[in-house]
Amino acid sequence: MGDARDPDEFFDLAEKIIQNINTVFEKDGSLDEFDIVPVESQSNRSPVIHVNHKLALESWCVPFLYSHSFKCFTQLLPNRKVSAGNHKNQHRNGSTSVRNGSIGSHEGHTFVNSRLTEGDRTERKLNLSRILILLNPDLTLAWNYRREAFIQCCMQFQHELHLVSLVASRKPKSSEVFMYRKWLVKHILNEDLKGDNIEQIFTREMQAAGKAAEAYFSNYHAWDYRRWLLETFLGGSFCPDEFKLTILNSEKNCSDNWVERHISDHSGFHYRQKLLSQMSLLECNVNGVFQLFTKELENNLSLVMRFPGHEALWYHRRFLLQFLVPKLQMELTENLNNHHQPMETNWECEVWQCCEDKIQYLKKKEEDLVKSILTVNASLVDDASVNFITKDSSNLSILYSQKHAKWLFMMFEWIIDNN
């Protein structure tokens, strides 16, 4: 698209593309993916591509379509002033901007907007905001308008979730996408919903967060949204107790599968830690917590040995110990404080000894782990027949085990021989 093109052509073409996109949304309520296809030059056909519930735009039309839509949209907003500088900052798609202001200064925007009825103006703002967030999900202005329109009952909850999922199919790590999704769910939970609806919303939203996490490695925003869903539904009075237990068991199984396939995903492990913390609240005593976390330590040990050189596994292990050991130490302290005189009965001695044995058991496990890592990987590093990739992983494992030994001393004053 060159500078010599008549502004009327820009305007008419942009309006035609907007109309084509609106038609696709009207005809296909099952759209599941959106993207921008790299095409450098214009052809005689429409740049709107719609195949098998997939929507795409040819990249050559994006700069002027975005500029046109933004100009029309902001002119429709009452008492809103958006400077050119703010517009430039909001538009971060990596596309070339339209030069000489040929779109932004055209009189057609004002002419078209002035002929619309109030209902038509609302519909046009919704259509334009939809195009803007598809092209640039970081445009807060468009999301905020859709919030206002939703509150005014101009849109349906399911339709908005569908649009958000469509935006996330192209930009799965967009913070604005998950902020808006969270806002929608908060709003709908304030209504009088039945248990079946609650379960459907939770299940669907968990699936959406999981899909975004799969699409982008270590997707913090997706995992943070999933964590928020878990805490919101578990802590809400609208969620039946029996469903809460179902949630935890289901999420534990999903997390088990995830960590096996994504052993370096810190965000996924952070969610798992939140999940384990929630599960520990259901345990009646420290023995239940001990069993839950020692089982997790065993699973972590298996991953550390099978997949050497992955720091996320070591950080997760630190969390488990930092959560469990202080609870055991607190139990020891409470037992001692509750007995001002020496413990006389066998039961009192057994309670105290049980906690002490658990701590010593954990210490011995960590000592065995560090020594095993150092022994196995030191031999691999010295073996001339081992390839450099294996040696690199072995060196990392040695480094992480030595750091772990130092951390154990700083946290619990456990002396681990790591030589």
Kindly report the average pLDDT of the chain as a whole number: 84
Sheet holding 48-51, edge to edge: 33-37, 54-58, 48-51
Query: Which pLDDT belongs to residue 20?
Result: 96
- Angstrom distance (rounded) from CA 292 to CA 249: 13
How big is the chain, counted in residues?
419
Q: Identify any residues that bridge with 34 across adjacent strands, giving them in sequence order.
A: 55
List the chain domain ranges: 1-171, 194-282, 293-419
| pLDDT single digits (tens) 9-18 | 778 899 999 9
Here the tokens at position 338 are: 């509750």
| pLDDT single digits (tens) 213-235 | 999 988 999 999 999 999 988 88
* Pick from 122, 157, 106, 123: nearest CA to 19: 123
- Name residue, tokens 């060196």: 395
> Contact, 403 vs 314, CB < 8 A?
yes
- Angstrom distance (rounded) from CA 203 to CA 57: 31
Here the tokens at position 192 are: 């009088």
* Pick from 286, 291, 288, 289: nearest CA to 332: 286
Angle at 207 between CA 206 and CA 210, to 5 degrees: 85
**Does residue 181 surpass a pLDDT of 80?**
yes
- Name residue, tokens 């999420």: 251
- Angstrom distance (rounded) from CA 109 to CA 126: 16
Residue 72's Cβ-count burial label (10 Å; 0-12, 13-18, 19+) is buried
78-92, 153-167, 223-237, 405-419: which range is least confident on average? 78-92
| pLDDT single digits (tens) 16-30 | 999 999 999 999 999
Per-residue confidence at 247, pLDDT binned at 50, 70, 90? confident
Query: Which pLDDT belongs to residue 147?
Result: 95
